[in-house]
Amino acid sequence: MKSTLIKCGWLVTLDPDIGDLKGGELLIAGNAIKAAGRSLNATADETIDASDKIVMPGLVNAHMHTWETALRGIAVEWMSADYFKNVHSNLATRYKPEDNYIANLMGALAQIDAGCTTLVDWCHNITSIEHAERAVDGLIDSGIRAVFAHGTAKPIGLETGTPFTHVPHPRERVEALRKGRLASDDARVTLAMAILGPDWGAWEVVEHDIRMAREFGLVSSSHTRRREDCVVPDGYAKMAKAGLLGPDHNLVHGTSYDTADLRVVVDNGATLTSTVLVELHHHIGDAMVAAYREQGGAPSLGIDVELYCSGQMFREMQAALLFARGKEVRNNALRGNSPLKTNPVRSREALEWATINGAKAFKLDGKIGTLTPGKKADIVMLNADDVNMAPVYDPVYSIVEIAGAGNVDTVIIDGVIRKRNGKLTFGEAEYRRRLNELKESGARIMRDGNYKVASAPH
């Protein structure tokens, strides 16, 4: 088993028992963290001099529709209705299994490049087991750690005559994956279920889907929706009453929630993921990071769709933090209080939202999210001497408020180096080949859907 000793400029473990260490050391053995401390007196097969770097846990992107990578950027001026018309009702229906593969491969590589080591791939464009299999292949081939959340395509009603809201999650596909290649919860790619939930699906479907997820021992996740559009009114409260809402369920957005709604989530141990950049783009309500946190929730963060915004988790983390801080400052003023004397949201909290909290939401916190001995070696190193970074005083301040994807020098996932010296280790020729496939995939999907980006130069 290969061992690697990393001599860090700064070691940010996020493990409260170890803390942050200037000049700390991290020892990896195989795919796991063996030790973390100030001076380990360890010998190793390889030593990495990271004295000019900040060493930190890999970021966790807790919600992304990676299958949309080939359509990146087309929606930056769309509004909500455009998304459903152009994507779910049109472009999504043009996808072949190979389109899911190339989107997931290239989308996951972009995540690695930007310092994300774990991706929750909320794959809701699956119309056959081949679409699912190839989406999983893309994640596996990228080298990322991923939760493949098996979902269903929205226009499924077009084929069956039944509206998608009334179609239960297809058992045979989940069963095939769970009893086959995604049987292990200890593998680099694991399984979850991306379900309609009560805002998008009928009550019978909700009951069926949650029971099925529990039967297979899977976390389920669902999108919330504008209150007046929900299929089941007060659906999550109804789920709670029926014993169907618990720590094995994750909600995404919640931007129309009030305090009572958040209490239902927190009191039942369910989790809530915000995708602040996309929510700022066109959601009617506020991102829930601040309000959820005030109710004792542990926010997690995701990118959602790269059609609207950058997929960089550093940017998402910064947007979430600034939004939450601004919200707390304004709330304090609205309550008639004198100006706050201490910052209401610490930087370290935002780093936890983007690491350990995402891990907790998908039951991965025993494996990732902090640099704790015994956990998997999912590690990111940032160049502390880059022109936008130096000098570094508090490495957490620098990670959360100063750094960007361009500062990511090294990414290790499951003990394997996936980026080094600022370059992906995927292989240049292979990357070029796959890049062409991604471009061809996007062009074909848009051609078949007779969709053009109206403002694009010709």
Choice between 52 and 304, CB closer to Zn ion: 304
Choice between 36 and 64, CB closer to Zn ion: 64
Choice between 304 and 328, CB closer to Zn ion: 304
- Binding letters toward Zn ion, positions 261-300, x by CB under 5 A: ----------------------------------------
Q: How many chain residues are in contact with Zn ion, going by CB under 5 A?
A: 1
Choice between 18 and 289, CB closer to Zn ion: 289
Write down the least CB distance from residue 252 to Zn ion, Å: 5
Return the residues of window 128-157 that contact Zn ion according to CB under 5 A: none
Which tokens belong to 240?
A: 């709670």
In 3D, which of 139, 109, 180, 158 has the Cα closest to residue 426? 109
3-state helix, strand, coil in the chain (%, to 5): 40, 20, 40
Write down the least CB distance from residue 275 to Zn ion, Å: 7
Choice between 279 and 304, CB closer to Zn ion: 304
Strand partners, 145: 118
Return the residues of window 411-440 that contact Zn ion according to CB under 5 A: none
Burial grade of 336 (CB within 10 A; 0-12, 13-18, 19 or more): exposed
Alpha helices in 257-401 (DSSP H): 259-267, 276-282, 289-294, 313-334, 347-353, 356-361, 395-397
Pairing label, strands 20-22, 249-252: unpaired
Stretch that binds Zn ion, among 79-87, 113-121, 302-310, 363-371 (CB under 5 A): 302-310
Write down the least CB distance from residue 388 to Zn ion, Å: 31
Which tokens belong to 164?
A: 């998608």
Write down the least CB distance from residue 104 to Zn ion, Å: 15
Does residue 304 belong to the site contacting Zn ion (CB under 5 A)?
yes
Stretch that binds Zn ion, among 67-75, 157-165, 260-268, 304-312 (CB under 5 A): 304-312
Task: Write the CA distances from 44 to 1, 27, 28, 39, 416, integer angstroms.
Answer: 10, 8, 9, 14, 15
Q: How far apart are CA 364 and CA 358, in angstroms?
A: 8
Does residue 316 belong to the site contacting Zn ion (CB under 5 A)?
no
**Phi/psi of residue 63, nearest 5 degrees:** -165, 110
Q: How far apart are CA 176 and CA 182, in angstroms?
A: 9
- Binding letters toward Zn ion, positions 94-123, x by CB under 5 A: ------------------------------
Choice between 27 and 307, CB closer to Zn ion: 307
Does residue 306 belong to the site contacting Zn ion (CB under 5 A)?
no
Choice between 120 and 380, CB closer to Zn ion: 120
Which tokens belong to 264?
A: 């239902």
Write down the least CB distance from residue 274 to Zn ion, Å: 11
Choice between 4 and 66, CB closer to Zn ion: 66
Q: How far apart are CA 236 and CA 245, in angstroms?
A: 7
Which residues of the chain form contacts with Zn ion (CB under 5 A)? 304
